[in-house]
Structure 1
């Protein structure tokens, strides 16, 4: 199994009040129901105020690297990426469990 972890940092000048943020969050929340390769999917705003903290996280669970590749190119996932690309930068980790 592969745990896919994505941490988003809002771009300078983008706040939670930005009108693009709520739609991006909504798309992220729906990815788990739209991409069949995902066994688990959770998203949410980070509550930490530490300077090194990211703002939003998405965590999913997939069978293997082939499932991860299918998830990455899935059209709904790509739609969510487009929304987040406008407002944030991110880092990922794909961890074998």
Structure 2
């Protein structure tokens, strides 16, 4: 199994209350159910206000590296990434467990 973690930081001046951000969060909430390779999916806004904290997180899992590649290339995933690219940056970690 592979764990796929993503942490998002909203760009300077962007608020999670903005319609495009709310739409992006909703799109990620729905994404796990749209990609058959995803075996586990959760995402949520961070509540921590520490200076090093990121704003939004995804914790997901797929069966193997091939499944991770299919997920990354899936049109639904690519569409959500394009939304978030407009207002956030992110870091990822993928590891086998």
TM (norm. structure 2) is 0.98
Corresponding residue number in structure 1 for 2:34: 34
Across the aligned residues of Structure 1 and Structure 2, the Cα RMSD in angstroms comes to: 0.6
Aligned to 2:12: 12
Q: Which 5+ residue runs of structure 1 have no aligned equivalent?
A: none
1:67 CA displacement: 0.3
Q: What is the number of equivalent residue pairs in this alignment?
A: 97
The Cα shift of 1:17 comes to 2.0
Residue by residue over 1:69-89, the C-alpha shift from the partner in whole angstroms, topping out at 9 and shown as x without a partner, is 000000000111011111100
Map of 1:48 onto structure 2: 48
Shift of 1:41: 0.4
Q: What is the alpha-carbon distance in structure 2 between the residues aligned to residue 33 and residue 19 of structure 1?
A: 22
Aligned to 1:33, the other structure's residue is in SS state: coil
Q: Can you list the C-alpha shifts for 1:18-67, whole angstroms capped at 9, x where unaligned? A: 22111000110011100000001000000111000000001111001000
Q: TM-score, normalised by structure 1?
A: 0.98
Unaligned 5+ segments in structure 2 are none
- Kindly report structure 1 stretches of 4+ aligned residues shifted beyond 3 Å: none
